Structure 1
Amino acid sequence: MLRRVLIALALPLFLAACGADNKWASDEAVRTARYVSEEQPSISLMTVIGLNRGEGGHSALLINGSQRVIFDPAGSFVHPRAPERHDVLYGITPAMRNVYIDYHARDLPGERYYVTVDTVPVSRETADIAIRAAEGNGPVNKAFCAVGTSKVLSATPGFQGAPGGFSPIRLRSWFLTLPGVRTEEYRDNDPRLVHGDLLKMNDGSLHAYDR
């Protein structure tokens, strides 16, 4: 009982960038958006990290297999050319990947985050297993992004040791021990990114649109 109380009290402190969604794009939208990359199949852990205290703000996966998708558990990112089904974003072209990263790499009052992208090369078969695990996971509750990310990784060959729990930082620390991992870091106004316009909607959510 005490453990449940402590978890309940701690949850508001975790994952400021995480949201909740239960979206289901149409078959036509997903089919039209499908993007196949010529890059080597891979699985990338994307971690949003606070600039001030180094706290974990969000965890997500960029998966490049028979198509490239982002598993964005409990994420708040929305784009008209990235249809979403239960936290899986389709149509992840190079530009869309950059818009997604740019959306999370913020240096605003009260919202100061940078993004790390840690990539491990895998076989096409392994990447597709990860995509199917993400598609079969279902929507993730608010503040459970690291939990959902770990669950998908744990269902993927070579990633079964992913630690559970609510900490994106702990999950990233484990991911960095994997063989062949390559790391990139992005901050606000990074010239490598396609900078998106963030439009605040009536419900307070932020929607990203590339210029």
Structure 2
Amino acid sequence: MIRFVILAFCAVFALAGCAAPPGVWASDEDVARVAYRDDGPPRLTMFTMLNNNTGSGAHTSLMINGSQRIIWDPAGSFKHESIPERNDVIFGVTPAIADVYTRFHARKTFHVKIQELEVTPAQAQKAMQLAMSHGTAPQAQCARSTSSILAEIFPGQVKQTWYPKALADEFGKLPGVSEKVLYEYDSDDNSKVLAAWDPSRVGSS
């Protein structure tokens, strides 16, 4: 019975996107080749994947625009051969990649809450350093690992938590946070989003 519960728990998180094999390590050349910084201000963008039926959280990730733009995608399932990754950090996050990343997680059973907050250059850089030094997050610890980063950026305002929805609620209380949601109604087989994506057909903006 215990084994069945554990397997069921893992299956839920695998479907939602908060499960992944051990991390990979892109070469210095590949990371340098795709490095991208958005022209906008330093910013943190938190993505929270929420169940359309229950409202419960399924996955948390954090896009950081500092000296370059990356996505901290702990235990994430977003993988493409053209997108360099080191452990759970995705590099070269152009607007096109940010778009396909967001749409990859929105489907008929889940929607994505997108919360943006302008921060200081020092805060953005610290978030990047914490994400890149974190290492691969264990399965089902996306919110815990992300909240550990945010707790260092916003001490006393963000606490560590295991729950994506609770983290989104707390992050949303920070002054200056804006929110929007993305609903799409594709199949639950979200791998088709990346399979259909051709990076040669999109620009960097």
- State the TM-score, normalized to the length of structure 1: 0.81
Distance in 2 of aligned mates of 1:148 and 1:90 = 18
Alignment check: 8 A CA contact 2:44 2:118 kept:
yes
1:46–1:160 distance in 2 versus 1, CA, 3 Å? farther
Question: How many residue pairs end up in the alignment?
Answer: 189
State the partner residue of 1:153: 150
Deviation, 1:58, is: 0.2
Deviations 1:54-101 (A, max 9, x none): 110100001111100000000000123321101000010011001000
Letter of the aligned partner of 1:65 in structure 2? Answer: G
Q: CA RMSD in A?
A: 2.5
Gaps of 5+ in 1: 1-7, 191-196, 201-205
Runs of 4+ in 1 over 3 A off after TM superposition: 8-16, 197-200, 206-209
Name 1:173's counterpart in structure 2: 169
* Contact 2:78–2:104 (8 Å) recurs in 1: yes
Check if 1:122 corresponds to 2:122: no
* More strand, by proportion: 1
1:162–1:175: 8 Å Cα contact kept in structure 2? yes
In structure 2, do the counterparts of structure 1 residues 105 and 199 end up closer, same or farther at CA, with 3 Å as the change threshold? closer
Mapping of residues 184-195 of structure 1, within 5 Å: 184-188=180-184
Residue type matched to 2:39 in 1?
A: E
The CA deviation string for residues 171-193 of structure 1, in whole angstroms up to 9 with x for no partner, is 11100100000012111169xxx
How far, CA to CA, are the matches of 1:14 and 1:175 in structure 2? 24
Superposition TM-score, scaled by structure 2 size:
0.83
Say whether the 8 Å CA contact 1:198–1:208 is kept in structure 2.
Answer: no
1:88 counterpart residue number: 89
Distance 1:173 1:9, change over 3 A: farther
Task: Classify 1:199/1:115 alpha carbon distance in 2 versus 1 (closer, same or farther; 3 Å).
Answer: closer
Q: How does 1:1-211 map onto structure 2 within 5 Å?
A: 12=10, 15=13, 16-20=16-20, 21-107=22-108, 112-156=109-153, 158=154, 161-188=157-184, 199=191, 207-208=194-195, 210-211=197-198
Q: Which runs of 5+ in 2 are unaligned?
A: 1-5, 199-205
Residue 207 of structure 1 and its aligned partner are, at CA, apart by 4.9
Flag the structure with higher helix content: 2
CA displacement, residues 10-57 of structure 1 (integer Å, 9 cap, x when unaligned): 954874321123111111111111101101111111100000111101
Identity between Structure 1 and Structure 2 (%): 37
| Aligned residues of 2:151 and 2:160 also touching (Cα < 8 A) | no
Contact kept, 8 Å, 2:57 with 2:165, in 1: the verdict is yes
User: CA distance change for structure 1 residues 88 and 159 in 2, over 3 Å: closer, same or farther?
Assistant: farther
